[in-house]
Every structure is written in C-alpha cells, then in structure tokens.
Amino acid sequence: MLDILEDVRASAAWMRPKGVATLRRLSEHLSVHTGPVNAGIIQDSSSALLIDFGPGNVMDDCLRLGIEDVQMILFTHHHRDQACGAWIAEKGVRVGVPQGERSYFEDVGSYWNKPETRWHLYNFHPHHLMLAESLHVDRTLSEGDLIEWGPARISVLDTPGHTNGSISYLVEADGQRVTFCGDVIHSQGKVWEVHSLQKGKETTDYHGFMGAREELMASLEKIRRAGPSHLVPSHGRIMSSPSRAIDLLARRMRSCYDLYTASSALRFYFPKLFPGRLEGPGVMPMRSCKPVPGFLLHFNTTWMVVSTDGSAFAMDCGSPSVVEWVRKLSSEGSISRVEALWITHYHDDHVDAVPEFKHEFGCPVIADAHVAQVVENPLAWDLPCISPVTAPVDRKTGNGETWRWPEFTMTAYHLPGQTLYHGGLLVEGRGLRLFFSGDSFTPGGMDDYCAGNRNFLGKGKGFDLCLSLLERLKPDLIFNCHIEKAFDLTPGELAFMRRNLAQRFREYGRLIAWDDPNYGIDGSWVRCVPYEQRLEPGRRAHLDVVITNHSSAARRARCAAAFPRTWHIRDKAVGGAVIHAGKEGSIPLSWVVPNDGLQGRFVVPVDVIYGDRFLPQVTEAIVEVV
C-alpha cells in the first residue's frame, strides 16, 4: 500500500502549497488535513480511516504521520472535488458513501450520457460536479449507522442541503466529539457557495433560488443537537464553537433570503410560495397589469409588433405552434409579411422553433451579440434551459444599436438581467416608448430566481445595470414574454430594487466565503469553452478555460486538464494567465486525443489554482470521440 500512497502523493504535487502547514492534530488518534478539501484522518498505529479525500493532498499528511495503509475512505457527499483523487480505492481501500448517492459514485456514466442532464435543464440535482469516472463502493451509509474502527466510534447523520444525500460523521475518539459535516457550513456564519442550494419545492429547481436553505439549516440543527466540540467542513475552517457558528449562519441565511424575496419576479407567477411577502414594509408592491396597444400581438412566448403597412416584427419563437399562429395571421390578412425575428435570450422556450420560423417566413434573425454566441453554438455551453437547437443569427447587435423599421425606432441593448446572455429592445413609435425585457422583469420585480443564469450582484452589473437602463430610458410600458399584458415600474420602485441589490451585495458578502459574493452565486465563473466537442482519434482538442474575476484586484490563475485514466496520453495540458479585476480571461489548453480505439463520451475535468486557492476539478469539458 505504501507505494500506492506515494503515487497519489506524487500525482497531487503540482498543486501542493509550498511552506504551508496542512496538518492539525485534534487528539492522539484524530487529525485533519486542511487542504483544498479538508479530510479527516483517524489513525490506528500505521493504518488509517479517512473522511473525504479531495485530490490526494491528504496523502502528504498520512505519510508524515507514518501511515502505510489506508483501510477505508468515507465520503460526506458526491461532489467531484471531494473524491477526484480516490482512484486509490481501486487498490483495496474500502469506500463508504451516502446511501442516497451511491449511483453518483459507481455509475456516473448514467449521468454523463443522458440527454436530460445535458439539454433542457430545469432540475439540477444531482449537481454537474459529478465524478468524471466511476468509483467502486463497498458500503452505503445513512442515519443511525455506526462504525467502530480502531480508537474511534463514528455515528452517521443524514444532513441534506448542500446535496440531497449529504451525510455527516460524528467521530468520538480520545474524549473528543468532532463532526465532519461536508459543505453544510464553511466557517462561522458562512457557506462556500449558494448555487448548490438551487432547489424547487412545488416547481422545478429552476425556480428555487436558495430553495434548499431550510433543509440545510435543519441539518445544522441536527448536528448541533449531537453535541460536537468541533465542526470540520469540507471547505473552510475548523470551528470550535459550533452553536455560535450555526446561529450566525441562520441569521445571515434568513436575511439574504428575505432580501431576495422582497423584489422577486417569482411572486407574480407563484404568489402562494411567498406568504407574507407580496405587500407590506420592506417589500416591493405588486404592480397592476395594463392594456396592450392594438398594434401588438402576443402568443405563447412571442410578442409581435405590426406596422401600419401590415408588416410584422416578431420576438422569440419557442414552439412550432407559434409558426402556425403567424401562418394563420398571414392567411387572415392580419399581417402582410414577417420582416424580422428578434431573440431576447437563449432559453429553449424562446428559441426551439427559430429555425422553423426562419424557414417558413424567410426573415432575418436578430439578437444581441451575447445571446448570439449561445444560440449559434449551443454545444459549446452548459447552462440552464439550454436547447440543442442551433439558431444562426443574421444580425448581431451591439449595446445601444439603433435602426428604423417603418414608423418605429428600434434600439437594442445588452440586458444581463434574467440571464447574462439576454437582450432588451426599446420600440419607439405611435407616441409610445415600449420596452421588451424578455423574461427579466414582471410586475413583482426581478427575474433572478435561478443562480445558474449568472445574475451578478454589484453596482453596474446584472440587474443593477438593467435598472439603471430603465431609469434612463423611462419606458411607458414594459413587456415580458410570458405575460400577455403590459406593466410599468415607477421611479420609486426602480430605486427600491437598486437599494435592495446594494443591500444584497453586502449581506451575501457576509454569507459567502469569498472576497466577492458572485463567486458563490455564479456557478459558471470557471467554465470550459467549448463545453462539448466531437473529435476523431488522433485529432487535437482545443479548449479555453474561461475565468470571470469577480474581485477588485487582478488574480493569477493556473489550470491543468485531468485526463481520463483510460487515455494513455503523454500531453500535459497546462496553462496560466493573469485575469484582470472585474474581467473575463481565457487560458488555452490543447492535447491530442489518443488513437487507441476508444470511443464514446469522455469527461475532462480541469484543476484550477486561482490566487492562493486550489480548486480541484472545479469545471469540466466533454469530448466525444467518434
């Protein structure tokens, strides 16, 4: 076994921090490796049981402690960073995992090969941080299970929240009671991120921003009742005052969620989900809908402007039924022809039938340049509600670009509200200023209920930028693709939402364990482009690791591809760059796909060192060898 431990140690060497102490002894037989993923080490002479494993750095401390034999690894949850180095388990180490997540360890191909986990994504459990390759499982664990090993007694608690099947381990050894709690908490009053809490209750996960918060807090209360002296999270600091850490997190979690619900567009669609949050102090009042001008038509998610000469300007086409509707309008003489189709954003219910629409009516497709990059090449992206339909865009508009269309003036804007890849359109004519906001606003407020859409917080970003645009444009009416009526937002309401966003930036900054809260909200701040590519054996693969630096200072980043172990490949795809503050930067990686006869879909994770943080296999790309 000793040679295997050395192999794992060597494989993790490139990302080992230099001169940093990583071992904390809690008692004679119980230690914690404090690395990119904290790992518990229970030692019995030269043997050990580990809790979580990370990329393998824990082996440094095992060897330092004189450990020659790792007998068992217990995992708190299935996320890839917890277990990506655990191929050691193939050499005789027993593996224990949460009962509800067994398939996420030993049958990951079922996830990576299913179309429903790639396209039309409205549910996000399990999370895409699935292991790239399967790991054998010897035992499943759930609440009430007890493991007695060497000097330790280990009790299992079901602690869902961060993932549906997360468990925690209460370790009693040498008079200590220490709970290894996964990612239910990071440190006193903080969590590692909140995008994993995206979970629907009466609807899909797509509508459930922070929807798992109640499960998370219930799990922490269960941990508190177990009476540990210390909490050891997967990411973060060992806590010696568990009750104080949990109480502060509960207050911050409530405050952040209340700020979100105070101006959530979702209150308009599902008012029953927000009892007590529709009216009253500290809550944006619900606006009343208004009549629609007679020259506008609405069907499904499509708005249409009809000019005095009978020509039509359409917006979005998510269903073939829209094509039938427009065909009927034409046959009835309600419109003479369709002159253009504007795409507000990339979501499937707005683009699925765009190619059919274009073929039927022969009109150009227009979209903001940020939208166009997604709909023209969906294979390159991994985003919520994404469609595999490719929609070529004939005209890509810049922010503020203006043109005339019969009696109307059209002005296109980048509108990073509901999604980062979203456009808005101001239509001026017939004495009115009409703003088509896609899905970004409802009479209830801002459509920011899916973290996967990349809704950034901060002055001049995300919805704050959108609100400042509305303050400047002063439209008479606003239109949402899902609402058949018009509405408006008063200057006071726009100001309320901007104040709310400023408060959120501060409060989420206290909750999330990064120097900017967007790292914990934006699950795509590190991503691979293209996300998916199809290549023949022997061809060279190219991808960019794209990093969004949400910080106020530049950050140096290094990254390396972690190839499938079935690939016999000598390439070392590594790279680095300085990512400027508030900007997006790219690090190119390249390698030759092995010419060994293997075909199929392969997951290529990427390790990233960002500033002083090592993020093991934080993102991934898909290579389909054909």
Question: pLDDT tens for residues 15-55?
Answer: 555 546 799 999 999 999 999 999 999 999 999 999 999 99
The token pair at 289 is 């809908």
The count of residues in the chain is: 626
Question: What are the beta bridge partners of residue 268?
Answer: none
Check residue 186 and report its DSSP letter: S
DSSP 326: H
Quick one: pLDDT at residue 75? 98
Q: Identify whether residues 484 and 554 lie together within a single domain.
A: no
At which of 489, 514, 535 does a domain end?
489
Query: Which CATH number fits the domain that encloses residue 555?
Result: 2.60.40.10
Poorest-pLDDT segment among 125-134, 320-329, 459-468: 125-134
Looking at 489, 514, 549, which one is the last position of a domain?
489
Q: Are 470 and 555 members of one domain? A: no
Q: Mean pLDDT lowest for which of 119-128, 412-421, 593-602? A: 593-602
Q: What region, left, alpha or beta, does residue 441 occupy, with left being phi > 0 and alpha being psi -120 to 50 degrees?
A: beta
Instruction: Please tell me whether residues 163 and 306 are part of one structural domain.
Output: no
**530 prior amide bond cis, ω within 30:** yes
| H or E element at residue 149 | strand 146-149
Same domain, 132 and 239: yes
* Measured CA distances, 530 to 119, 419, 588, 622 (Å): 15, 19, 11, 9
461 and 600 assigned to the same domain: no
pLDDT at 596 over 90: no
Confidence at residue 3, expressed as pLDDT on a 0 to 100 scale: 55
Average pLDDT on 543-566 reads: 97
Asked whether residue 339 carries a pLDDT value surpassing 90, the answer given is yes
Whether residues 323 and 245 fall in one domain? no
Q: Determine, yes or no, domain membership for 535.
A: yes
Same domain for 353 and 234, yes or no, is no
C-alpha count within 13 angstroms, C-beta hemisphere, residue 381:
27
Q: Could you give the CA distance from residue 614 to residue 617 in angstroms, rounded to a whole number?
A: 9
Closest by CA position to 415, among listed 381, 382, 447: 447
* pLDDT over threshold 90, residue 99: yes
What's residue 175's pLDDT? 95
Name the pLDDT band for 407 (thresholds 50, 70, 90).
Answer: very high
> Minimal CA–CA distance to 455: which of 484, 415, 413?
415
In a domain, 278, yes or no: no
Mean per-residue pLDDT, 531-554:
96
In a domain, 396, yes or no: yes
CATH number of the structural domain spanning residue 48:
3.60.15.10
Q: How far apart are CA 118 and CA 100, in angstroms?
A: 22
| Mean pLDDT value of segment 278-305 | 96
Mean predicted confidence (pLDDT) in 351-370: 98
pLDDT-derived band of residue 571, with 50, 70 and 90 as boundaries? Answer: confident
Q: What's the pLDDT at 202? A: 85
- How remote is the C-alpha of 568 from its chain's centroid? 32
Q: What is the pLDDT of residue 483?
A: 97
- Note whether 128 and 44 are same-domain residues: yes
Residue 354 pLDDT more than 70? yes
Q: From residue 91, how far is each of 3, 442, 563 by CA, in Å?
A: 11, 56, 20
Query: Residue 18: what pLDDT?
Result: 53
Instruction: Give the residue-averaged pLDDT of 545-562.
Output: 98
Residue 609 in contact with residue 557, Cβ under 8 Å?
yes
For residue 170, pLDDT over 90 is answered with yes
Tens of pLDDT, residues 236-290: 999 999 999 999 999 999 999 999 999 999 999 999 999 989 998 899 999 999 9
The pLDDT value given to residue 568: 85
Residue 87 has pLDDT above 90, yes or no: no
Quick one: what percent of the chain has pLDDT higher than 70? 96
Domain end call among 443, 474, 489: 489
Same domain, 459 and 408: yes
Contact (CB, 8 A) for 451 and 194: yes
Residue 51 lies in a domain: yes
Question: Both 250 and 337 in a single domain?
Answer: no
Quickly count: other Cβ atoms within 10 Å of residue 145's Cβ.
17
Clarify whether residues 234 and 355 are in a common domain.
Answer: no
Question: pLDDT-derived band of residue 6, with 50, 70 and 90 as boundaries?
Answer: low
Give 580's DSSP letter.
P
DSSP string of 400-456? T-EEEETTEEEEEEE--SSSSSBEEEEEEETTEEEEE-TTSEETTEE----GGG---
Q: Which domain holds residue 398?
A: 296-489
**DSSP 3-state assignment of 202?**
coil
pLDDT band at 597 (very low <50, low <70, confident <90, very high): confident
pLDDT, residue 536, reads 94
Asked if residue 281 belongs to a domain, the reply is no
Same domain, 200 and 302: no
512 within some domain: no
- Count structural domains, the chain: 3
For residues 71 and 119, the answer to whether their CB atoms sit within 8 Å is: no
**In angstroms, what CA-CA distances link 621 with 129, 195, 246, 508?**
12, 20, 36, 29
d(CA 289, CA 486): 6
**What are the pLDDT digits (tens) for 193-231?**
999 999 998 899 999 999 999 999 999 999 999 999 999
| Residue 406 within a domain | yes
How far is the CA of 473 from the CAs of 118, 295, 396, 448, 466, in angstroms? Answer: 38, 21, 22, 21, 11
Structural domain includes residue 494: no
Residue 608: pLDDT over 70: yes
